[in-house]
Homo-oligomer: A and B are copies of this chain.
């Protein structure tokens, strides 16, 4: 897709494709209460960077694979990300009324339906993974591997564990290592899943999967530190949300521990490390993955 375009156009094109497919990802013939379907689609279609599904597709392309084979897995990772936002926004969790300028799910549909829409999206992600076998003939053994990785990296030892640590940390994260644990699991784990799953579908070797894992870990951490930095220095209009919210909510961040300059240097170092992992692993078409890493480092929103 868009192989000659610049990275910004590439991202736009892939995001548009992903959004078209997300919109029809819940089979029309499935009977369910209409409010549940609406709540699922409301959050799925509420915008966002679509970073994780784009990484799934770019990783498959880096291996010379067909990104259509990886599309159901790309949709799955966006469903997981979306459910995690719905549940994070609940009154018992972060109690947010708005996300990206829109009322959060529980403000629109009520708390009970928001909980259920999150549960339904989480569950539907695993349905979507299997569609890579149904629609594109990906082998059952590869599907089983991807299901196992998704469950691990988005579950208790992964994203949910990071979120649980974050909730507990609100009573006081006092060490950089604790913050890093939260960032690695809350953010990096799903990025790691994304690039490895895209690679797995495109036939990555064991060494290439290890390179993708290092790439995803560094990129996910860089992304989260950049988020911390933008919350301090960013433009409210570009970000689409109030700045300095971390300070106001007394959330500790990377800049809080090591300062702004050292945080910026860390983002650059992690991006370099991410690039290096890919550059030395002999991928046939790594350009988009490398460009995405640079793009994320330089982003202002």
Q: CB within 8 Å of B: which residues of A?
A: 26-27, 30-33, 35-37, 40, 83, 87, 90, 92-93, 110-113, 115-116, 118-120, 122-124, 126-127, 129-130, 133-134, 139-144, 147-148, 150-152, 154-157, 160-161, 163-165, 167-168
Do A112 and B167 contact each other (CB < 8 Å), given the known contacts A127-B152, A133-B144, A150-B126?
yes
Select one of B122, B123, B151, B156 contacting A32, CB under 8 A. B156
Contact yes or no, A155 B115, CB < 8 A: no
Contact yes or no, A120 B90, CB < 8 A: no
Q: What is the bound-complex CA distance between A65 and B100, given in angstroms?
A: 52
Q: Which of A35, A92, A139 has the most chain B CB atoms inside 10 A of its CB?
A: A92
Q: What is the bound-complex CA distance between A150 and B124, given in angstroms?
A: 10
Min CB distance A89 to B, Å, is 11
Min CB distance A131 to B, Å, is 8
Contact yes or no, B127 A148, CB < 8 A: yes
Q: What is the bound-complex CA distance between A115 and B140, given in angstroms?
A: 32
Q: What is the bound-complex CA distance between A130 and B150, given in angstroms?
A: 11
Oligomer: number of copies = 2
Contact yes or no, A147 B129, CB < 8 A: yes
Interfacial chain B residues near A123, Cβ < 8 Å: 122, 151, 154-156, 160
Contact yes or no, B116 A163, CB < 8 A: yes
Apart from A130-B147, A140-B141, list 16 A-B contacts with CB within 8 A: A32-B157, A33-B164, A35-B164, A40-B156, A87-B116, A87-B119, A90-B115, A116-B167, A119-B122, A119-B160, A120-B155, A123-B156, A126-B126, A127-B147, A130-B144, A140-B142
Contact yes or no, A93 B112, CB < 8 A: yes
Select one of B111, B124, B126, B129 contacting A156, CB under 8 A. B124
Contact yes or no, B156 A30, CB < 8 A: yes
Interfacial chain B residues near A151, Cβ < 8 Å: 123-124, 126-127, 130
Select one of B87, B120, B129, B142 contacting A115, CB under 8 A. B87
- Chain B residue at smallest Cβ distance from A134: B148
Contact yes or no, A31 B116, CB < 8 A: no
Q: What is the bound-complex CA distance between A140 and B130, given in angstroms?
A: 11
Interfacial chain B residues near A144, Cβ < 8 Å: 130, 133, 140, 143-144, 147
Contact yes or no, A26 B124, CB < 8 A: no
Q: What is the bound-complex CA distance between A168 and B36, given in angstroms?
A: 10
